[in-house]
Amino acid sequence: MTKPLVAILSGAGISTDSGIPDYRGPNGLWREDPEAEKLVTYEYYMSDPDIRRRSWQMRRRAGTLLAEPNAAHRAVAELERSGVPVRVITQNVDGLHQLAGLSARKVIELHGTARQFVCTECEVRGPMEDALARLEAGEDDPACAVCGGILKTATVMFGQNLDPEVLGEALAVTKACHVFIAVGTSLQVQPAAALAGLAVDHGARLIIVNAEPTPYDEIAGEVVREPIGTALPRLLRTLGAGGDRVA
């Protein structure tokens, strides 16, 4: 008997227990410092050297590369190991699903990864540790070592389009899944947010695990407001055991 496919859309809220702040929550980065959004906006980043310098210093201080997976990330990996077909569609760029043990091919990174840098000219990539080492050595806006172009994190900044192949893969998984779990996401950023409605349109059961209300709560089969670090592992254990929430 084929087990039902579980798709998990994860947002910033799943990583807050790992010490990575969210953006739009009650204590989110954009609420505390609206100007910080400019540091990850493509137009500002490409046109203003001062924005780039501030953005690099933000990356240097963020500690994202030092973050460790938490109980929620580990629970997703454990569900996959239990034999349940799992695909993660993540809005996060921290790579913690993979560090928790989920195969990279099971993770669709809608917004790219902060664990690499990319040149905006020649598109060469490399590990973020290398770029941060250049900052530590005294550079404040490191240029591409290959072509001299502007470097940025290998993430999708505000003002950039998602990779159409990555989005296409996310759409295919969403349409094929039997259960769609939106966890730690406000479901306000498109096109990622629309995946929740698309899943329901194609017959999936929608479960939302988030601290605050979302625009899709009314069509969800279940809404969980409890802390993600305890609620998601409990929910996924039920799915792994073949609980009735799958139906």
Domain of residue 129, CATH code: 3.30.1600.10
One domain for residues 107 and 224: yes
One domain for residues 197 and 138: no
Query: How big is the chain by its Cα radius of gyration, in Å?
Result: 18
Whole-prediction pTM value?
0.90
What are the pLDDT digits (tens) for 112-168?
Answer: 999 999 999 999 999 999 999 999 999 999 999 999 999 999 999 999 999 999 999
What are the pLDDT digits (tens) for 187-213?
Answer: 998 889 999 999 999 999 999 999 999
- From the number of C-beta atoms within 10 Å of its C-beta (0-12, 13-18, 19+), residue 90 rates as buried
One domain for residues 220 and 150: no
What is the pLDDT, as a whole number, of residue 20? Answer: 86
One domain for residues 122 and 222: no
What is the pLDDT, as a whole number, of residue 244? Answer: 43
* Segments forming the whole domain that contains residue 9: 1-20+69-111+162-247
3-state SS record for the chain: CCCCCEEEEECHHHCHHHCCCCCCCCCCHHHHCHHHHHHHEHHHHHHCHHHHHHHHHHHHHHCHHHCCCCHHHHHHHHHHHCCCCEEEEECCCCCHHHHCCCCHHHEEECCEEEEEEEECCCCCEEEHHHHHHHHHCCCCCCECCCCCCEEEEEECCECCCCCHHHHHHHHHHHHHCCEEEEECCCCCCCCCCHHHHHHHHCCCEEEEECCCCCCCHHHCCEEECCCHHHHHHHHHHHHHCCCHHHC
One domain for residues 42 and 94: no
Number of domains in the chain: 2
One domain for residues 139 and 33: yes
What is the pLDDT, as a whole number, of residue 85? Answer: 96
Tokens of residue 117, six digits: 């840098």
One domain for residues 233 and 170: yes
pLDDT band at 32 (very low <50, low <70, confident <90, very high): low
Are β-strands 125-127 and 112-119 bridged in parallel, bridged antiparallel, or unpaired? antiparallel
Is there a contact between 142 and 134 (Cβ–Cβ < 8 Å)? yes
One domain for residues 136 and 219: no
Expressed in angstroms, the distance from the first to the final Cα of the chain is 14
One domain for residues 118 and 170: no
- For the annotated catalytic residues, the residue numbers are 111
Cα distance between residue 36 and residue 230, in whole Å: 31
**Beta carbons within 8 Å of 139's beta carbon, 6+ residues apart:** none
Is there a contact between 91 and 110 (Cβ–Cβ < 8 Å)? yes
